């Protein structure tokens, strides 16, 4: 999988010429190709759901709908986005902590296929809602497995977190199901790791999770129909040429899948969409302050929060532009470390910290690669009410000769 990196000519052809450049550009053709490659590698007993928290734009969902098994959501709002973008036929599963009665009502109203239960209290609440509507609700019990968990940059389980039912309490949870006749427990949800870069370690985790799921089901005589292993297929932002070996993971799964065993589900987001978009932003000012060099962008963390949220060095490249429309000299930095910031009135608005540049000038573009996941979707868009970036989607209906573009909102 190659990171999408549009040329200056492509960028200038797509963006509005009346304002400084600030845009997300998505390559839907590449997304389609990449998604098919991921899904086709998996055994037929495995379902791949797209976790829309990574990027819930309607065009992304429509592109993925014919390829993935369905969509994983974490809120009622995300349920509505899938239904509006894809329609009533799309399969939806719902996870996440802190559920309410309203959430379970929406699960029923929108024909969500299954909901993942994260506490004993939520078992009782889901039963109460299902009983009031005289329906049977399909569920998985989310278990916070006993750790440790190898290879992950973020762990959702295997240690104290707010996620799932402690593995030590799972017997109590299954016993509680006896008093919940309107709930049909079909198995377990074992999402434990996020952004695992080591496919071998991830396969080890998946196989161990499957073993534990079978042991728990056998102990209670539970008909184990589904084991959801969550997401966690990683993206290496420090080395964009290092790709998660999903084919190795698939091969390991084939070795343990039983013909009459449970269906395995994954719910991945980042690995599906990260590579297929960039965030590109124009340098609108440069300065030196107390001996340190800064470059200020038309944009920032309110558009693309991922670098500051993860506190990592995000991959990027500089796209130089030679045009200079003003009468005064063009300012820039040469052969020095530059901190690249945004337009917000906070010193936290930093996208690159003391990064060495051979040259960076006002009017040049900084193009952040691998920006398709957890960028725009996790950012605080309306802090200070700055203009939103343009959101541009290729191939933008090339056969019809026009572009698909979501214009930025706000004052120019």
Q: How many beta carbons lie within 10 A of that of residue 273, not counting itself?
A: 30
| Contact indicator for 338, 357 with CB cutoff of 8 Å | yes
Q: How many beta carbons lie within 10 A of that of residue 410, not counting itself?
A: 13
Assigned token pair, 40: 């086709």
Kindly name the residue from 180, 276, 345, 367 that is annotated as catalytic: 345
| Contact indicator for 171, 215 with CB cutoff of 8 Å | no
User: How many angstroms separate the CA atoms of 93 and 79, rounded?
Assistant: 9
User: How many angstroms separate the CA atoms of 261 and 271, rounded?
Assistant: 27
User: How many angstroms separate the CA atoms of 245 and 38, rounded?
Assistant: 10
Bond into 148 cis (ω within 30): yes
User: How many angstroms separate the CA atoms of 144 and 134, rounded?
Assistant: 30
User: How far lies 136's CA from each of 8, 139, 265, in Å?
Assistant: 55, 10, 21
| Contact indicator for 250, 264 with CB cutoff of 8 Å | no
| Contact indicator for 186, 226 with CB cutoff of 8 Å | yes
Burial of 322 (C-beta count, 10 Å sphere; 0-12/13-18/19+) = exposed
User: How many angstroms separate the CA atoms of 342 and 193, rounded?
Assistant: 31
337 catalytic per annotation: no
> Would you name the residues annotated as active-site residues?
345
């Amino acid at each position: 999988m190659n990171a999408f990196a549009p040329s200056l000519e492509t960028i200038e052809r797509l963006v509005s010429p009346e304002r400084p450049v600030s845009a997300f550009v998505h390559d839907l053709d590449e997304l389609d190709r990449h998604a098919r490659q991921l899904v086709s590698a998996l055994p037929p007993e495995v379902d791949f759901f797209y976790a829309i928290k990574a990027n819930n734009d309607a065009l992304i969902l429509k592109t993925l709908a014919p390829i993935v098994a369905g969509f994983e959501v974490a809120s009622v709002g995300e349920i509505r986005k899938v239904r509006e973008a894809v329609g009533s036929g799309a399969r939806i599963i719902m996870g996440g902590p802190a559920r309410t009665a309203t959430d379970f009502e929406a699960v029923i109203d929108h024909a969500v296929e299954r909901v993942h239960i994260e506490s004993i209290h939520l078992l009782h609440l889901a039963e109460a809602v299902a009983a009031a509507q005289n329906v049977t609700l399909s569920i998985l019990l989310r278990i916070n497995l006993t750790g440790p968990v190898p290879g992950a940059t973020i762990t959702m389980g295997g240690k104290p977190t707010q996620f799932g039912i402690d593995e030590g309490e799972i017997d109590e949870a299954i016993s509680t199901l006896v008093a919940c006749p309107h709930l049909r427990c079909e198995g377990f949800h074992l999402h434990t790791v996020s952004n695992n870069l080591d496919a071998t370690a991830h396969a080890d985790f998946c196989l161990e999770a499957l073993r534990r799921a079978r042991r728990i089901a056998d102990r209670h005589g539970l008909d184990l129909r589904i084991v959801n292993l969550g997401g966690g297929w990683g993206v290496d932002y420090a080395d964009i040429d290092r790709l998660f070996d999903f084919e190795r993971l698939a091969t390991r799964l084939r070795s343990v899948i039983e013909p009459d065993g449970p269906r395995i589900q994954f719910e991945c987001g980042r690995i599906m969409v990260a590579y297929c978009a960039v965030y590109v932003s124009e340098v609108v000012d440069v300065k030196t302050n107390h001996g340190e060099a800064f470059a200020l962008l038309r944009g920032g963390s309110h558009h693309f929060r991922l670098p500051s949220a993860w506190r990592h060095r995000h991959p990027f490249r500089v796209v130089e532009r030679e045009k200079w429309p003003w009468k005064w000299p063009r300012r820039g930095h040469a052969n020095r470390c530059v901190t690249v910031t945004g337009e917000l009135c906070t010193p936290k608005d930093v996208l690159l910290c003391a990064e060495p540049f051979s040259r960076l000038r006002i009017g040049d573009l900084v193009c952040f690669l691998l920006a398709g996941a957890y960028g725009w979707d996790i950012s605080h868009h309306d802090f200070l009410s700055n203009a939103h970036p343009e959101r541009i989607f290729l191939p933008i209906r090339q056969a019809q000769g026009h572009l698909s573009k979501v214009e930025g909102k706000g004052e120019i």
